Each structure stands twice: as structure tokens, then as C-alpha cells.
Amino acid sequence: MDRKSVAKILKEIGTILELKGDNPFKTRAYYNGARTIESLTENLNNLVESGEIANLRGIGQALSDKISTLIKTGSLPYYDELKSTIPSGLLDMIKIPGLGAKKVKIVYDKLGISSVGELEYACRENRLRDLEGFGEKSQQNILSGIELRKKYNERFLYPVALNESEKIKNYLIQNEKIIQLEVAGSLRRKLETVKDIDVVCSCLEEDRKEIMDFFDSYPEKLSTINKGETKSTITLESGINCDLRLVEEDSFAFLLHHSTGSKEHNTELRGYAKELGFKMNEYGLFSDEQNIACTTEEEIFEKLNMDYIPCELREGMGEIELAQKKQLPELYDGNPFYGLFHIHTTYSDGANTIEEIVEACQDLNLQYVGICDHSKAAFYANGLNEERVKQQHEEINKINASLTNFKVLKGIEVDVLTDGSLDFDDSTLSEFDFVVASVHSQFNLSEDAMTERIIKAISNPFVTMLGHPTGRLLLGREPYKVNMEKVIEVAGKLGKVIEINSSPYRLDLDWRLGKLANEHGVKTALNPDAHSIEGLTDYKYGIGIARKGRFNKESVLNTYNAKKIESYFKEKHPH
């Protein structure tokens, strides 16, 4: 059993305990344990084997026993028994907005409802309305929650949410009563998918009502979820919820921090502040009844005697401890950025010619571009055979001869076949400046087979980079099963690059593995995997992910200037 499955089971135990009305702190202990396991970079099997598992923060005797049982036997009697005490549908019901453990329990106990379908039916028959603690409104809210869930599947791609946030920002800044305004939340953390948009503002107390009315009159509003004096939520026509919170100027930095951090980051930081004798909330930092003024987030961290934590890191994944020790890594900030790799052209499935791509890259002030069309196994994408590779190289030679201060690099996105071999032989591969190896078929192998397949592919001396390592399509397709820990380890040993595929549909390498990649000295490249000129600038999404993954400037290949990248590839090229 793998790390993710263990985490999922622990989380589910937490939810079931919550449904059964068990001690809320016990419930939380399971959630915390799940999170710890989920964000592990060490191999879980090894930790269990050595017994170190019990030393992890948040994992005590009980949890370490259960995790060990899961790892060793693949199942957990405690979990199975617990699960058999409640219908599985309750676990779905709890995901509906407005329904928590307590209310699900009431609905189940009083009406015998044990699935979302039954719940919807009961709402339509007005059977929830008369339950204690429920009413007309809650019945209606649950019903629209079910509808919305069906329609929008809960999360949105980063650029979709970003676009919506910019529109609402442009709308709100027209209101002159607003003093400061920022978009916070997971958008500001540059998370790959986003559930809602959090906007924070400062204003005078007497202007709150007017601003909230203005927010509620947003032309692209679909409906109002709640509307208070300092906090309101609306649903946009696109289906995304948007929160607005208002505070006075003195509290703005605190609210901005509060609304930016993940729940876990905030919980941990407040706990730490408390250890130092402070109380911290979205309004300020307090020592006894004394208010400690901060006008920027930088000052807040300073007052807490820790490094400033960049937004992208505020996930509650160990950044607070590092900041306390003043050991936060220096993150790549997008500068310098000299060139792109992994660009498709009309030779395979791209929309633009090499020349058009070159021109667009020059407009972006880049020094080089790596052309990477598909290889012959990708017949669906008009992949290149050996003959057309030659043609393309001749064309690139001509273009290069005509260019000053810009270089076209010869790359290829070569298909990794089922057995891990590549669909060009070494003599063809040797013609390229660099080679990206990607899996495009046979996603359903076992984890072992897939891991072996990918490791074999990157072990080919001509392969420079691994392309989209898990094949996931965000909100669309699950990653294929692969032991990325092993892949990263091998990539580190062999000096192979793992791309951060920067297409907003992929953002793969997952940033959660960045820490491990760094530990193994693996470099990355922010590859837009562009299939048109418009896609070239997708690399900017990769910058956010690289920061979340804690990559520094030196670990990002795009920071190499033309001269340096050419000599890097030459050095890596087997002779």
C-alpha cells in the first residue's frame, strides 16, 4: 500500500469518527496524521521498517501502529470495522457545502437518509425542513449545493480562476471607498487548482455596508451565498465562489496573511505565535492586550522572529519550521529567463511554423528556443520519422544561419514505449541537442511496471529530460501509477532533468515533490509544452510551481543563457 492510500484511509477514519460524534480532537489527530503522511518525502515503507514512523510529528503510538498494519498487511481491521458501522453514502454527503458531520448525522438518524441521491429527493419532498436545527433555508441551500456540485465538480484550473479574479478586482477598484485590495487565497499561493477566489480589502468602518452592496451588485454575479458586514460570498456566473472580507487599514496585513495561508499554515503559525506568548488572528498580533502594529506581511514574520515566508510556500508543509530556523530556501523569482524548451510546431501537432515560433520568442526577449516535436510512435500527433527529422534539422540549420543573437536548439519529445525503450535508435537520438522523453500511451501499467519503464527511459544516455512525469490532466485525468520517489532518485543519480510541464492543464512535476527533487539535486525546466504561439507564455505558470517546489535559480535550466545552455547540453551529450 502506498503513501497516498494510507493518508486517504486515515482521513476517512477521521471523517467517520466525526460522523459518529467522537472526540473532535481525536478526529483532528487522524486528519493531522493523514496530512503528515501525505506530505512525506521519505519512503513510507522504510519509515515503518525502521520504526521511525512514530517519531514523526503528529504520529503517536496509535497511529503508527495502524499505519504499520496498513503497510505490512494492506488492510486495517479497525478501519474495516469502523467503516461497516456507517453507510458509505454519508462520506459523500459530508462533502456538500453547508453539510457537516453533525447535520449529516441528524439527517441519517432521523430520516434514515444515507446517500446524496436520497438526500436530494428528501429535500424536494420538504422532509428536511421540519427537522430540528434545519429549516426552509437549509433545505434550499443543501439542494443548491447538490446542484452546484453536479455542475461544476468543485475546483477550477488556475488560469480560469485567475481570469475571474482579475475581472472582479477591476470591478471592485472602481469603488473609491476601498483603500487597499488584494486577491489572496490559493490563487495567491499559485496552487494548480482553485476552489474559490478570496478578495481582501481595507476601508473605513462606516463604508463597509456600501462596499458590500457594491460587491453584491457585481454584474457577473449568479447568486449571493451570504452577505455580512465584514464578510460576504457570491457565486459568479462561471460557477466560482468569491469571498470578500473587509477590515480597517491597521488589520490589512494580518487579514491578507490570514486569507492567503492554507488552513494548515495558519493553524500552525497561530500555534507558534501562541508559544511565543502572542495571540494572532486576522485582525492583528497581540501580546497581553497590547496590539503589535504591522503594516506589511514582512513585518508580521519579523515580529514572530522568523524568515519571511513567500506566499507560494504557505501550505503548512514544513515552511514554518524552516522559517523559524531561518533556513528557508532562496526561491527562483522568474529572473533571469533566457529561453524555452519543449515547443511543438507544424512538423507534428503544433499550430505554428518554426519561424513563427522563433519570431514570437524573440518578441519575448528570449535568447533561444528548443523545438520538440513528437516522434514517430505518436502517429495521432503526426510524429516525425527519421526522414522528417532530417528535414527539420536542415530547416533549423538554415534558420540559425540567418539569425544573430538567437539560437534554435534541436530537441525532440520522444515517446517512451511500453517496455521503456524509445522509438528512435541511438544514432537518430544523437542528432539532437537535447531529448525529452515522455509517456503518451499505455497508462494502465502496474506501478512497478510504469516505474521501471520510466527509469529505463531516462537511463538512456541520450535522454536529457523527463517530460510530464505523471501524465496527469488536472481535473481531467488521474496521474498514472508511478513511484516518483524512485524516479527522482534515479534522475538525481544520472543527472537528468525533470520538467515542470507548465501547461496549466498539467503542472507536472507536482510541486509537492519539489523538496525531494531538490534533495536529490535534480534540476528542472519550465517547459510550456506549447502547441501554438499563445501557449509559449504558459511558462509563467511553471514559475509559480517551481517556487512552490522550492527550486532556486540554479536548479532551473531556463536561467541558463544561450551560451551556457549549449555547453550544458554538449557536456551531457554522449560522445
Beta strands in 309-464 (DSSP E): 339-343, 368-374, 407-415, 434-438
Per CB under 7 A, the list member of 61, 85, 170, 405 interacting with DNA is 61
Is residue 280 a contact point for DNA (CB under 7 A)?
Answer: yes
Contact 504, 157 (CB under 8 A): yes
Which amino acid is residue 470, in one-letter code?
T
User: Which span (44-52, 259-267, 449-457, 479-487) binds DNA, by CB under 7 A?
Assistant: 259-267
Cell 512538423, residue located: 347
User: Which span (195-203, 289-297, 374-382, 427-435) binds DNA, by CB under 7 A?
Assistant: 195-203
Is residue 98 a contact point for DNA (CB under 7 A)?
Answer: yes
Contact 470, 436 (CB under 8 A): no
Burial class of residue 263, CB neighbours in 10 A (0-12, 13-18, 19+): exposed
Is residue 325 a contact point for DNA (CB under 7 A)?
Answer: no
Contact 107, 114 (CB under 8 A): no
CB of 379 to DNA, least distance (A): 45
Is residue 226 a contact point for DNA (CB under 7 A)?
Answer: yes
Q: What is the DSSP string of 323-356?
A: HHTT-PPPPP-S-S--EEEEE--TTTT-SS-HHH
Contact 28, 14 (CB under 8 A): yes
Burial class of residue 180, CB neighbours in 10 A (0-12, 13-18, 19+): middle
Is residue 85 a contact point for DNA (CB under 7 A)?
Answer: no
CB of 16 to DNA, least distance (A): 12
User: Which span (55-63, 350-358, 458-466, 469-477) binds DNA, by CB under 7 A?
Assistant: 55-63
Binding mask 3-32 for DNA (x = CB under 7 A): --------------------x-xx-xxx-x
CB of 81 to DNA, least distance (A): 12
Nearer to DNA, 100 or 495 (CB): 100
**How many other β-carbons are positioned within 10 Å of the β-carbon of residue 570?**
10
Per CB under 7 A, the list member of 43, 281, 346, 421 interacting with DNA is 281
Would you call 557 helix, strand, or coil by DSSP? helix
Nearer to DNA, 124 or 398 (CB): 124
Is residue 100 a contact point for DNA (CB under 7 A)?
Answer: yes
**How many other β-carbons are positioned within 10 Å of the β-carbon of residue 552?**
15
What burial letters (b/e) apply to 497-519, b meaning 16+ CB within 10 Å? bbbbbbbbbbbbbbbbbbbbbbe
Is residue 394 a contact point for DNA (CB under 7 A)?
Answer: no
**N residues, the chain:** 575
- Closest listed residue to residue 113, CA positions, set 11, 19, 14, 17: 19
CB of 100 to DNA, least distance (A): 2
Per CB under 7 A, the list member of 9, 99, 328, 556 interacting with DNA is 99
- Size of residue set near DNA by CB under 7 A: 60
Nearer to DNA, 30 or 341 (CB): 30
Is residue 60 a contact point for DNA (CB under 7 A)?
Answer: yes
Contact 539, 507 (CB under 8 A): no
Please report, for residues 81, 282, 324, 339, the alpha-carbon distance to residue 308 in angstroms, rounded to integers and kept in the order given. 46, 17, 10, 30
Which contacts qualify for 59-65: CB closer than 8 Å, 24 or more apart?
Answer: 59/33, 60/29, 63/10, 63/29, 63/30, 63/33
Contact 526, 320 (CB under 8 A): no
Binding mask 404-433 for DNA (x = CB under 7 A): ------------------------------
Nearer to DNA, 117 or 228 (CB): 228
* DSSP, res 297: H
CB of 455 to DNA, least distance (A): 35
Nearer to DNA, 75 or 418 (CB): 75
Per CB under 7 A, the list member of 7, 63, 412, 546 interacting with DNA is 63
Q: Pick out residues in 116-175 that bind DNA (CB under 7 A).
A: 129, 132-139, 141
Nearer to DNA, 96 or 557 (CB): 96
CB of 148 to DNA, least distance (A): 12
User: Which span (43-51, 156-164, 269-277, 525-533) binds DNA, by CB under 7 A?
Assistant: 269-277
Is residue 77 a contact point for DNA (CB under 7 A)?
Answer: no
User: Which span (45-53, 157-165, 278-286, 494-502) binds DNA, by CB under 7 A?
Assistant: 278-286
Handedness of CA 347, 348, 353, 359 (dihedral sign): negative
- Interface residues with DNA (CB under 7 A) are 23, 25-26, 28-30, 32-33, 56-64, 96-104, 129, 132-139, 141, 185, 195-196, 198, 226-232, 243, 259, 263, 266-267, 270-271, 274, 279-283
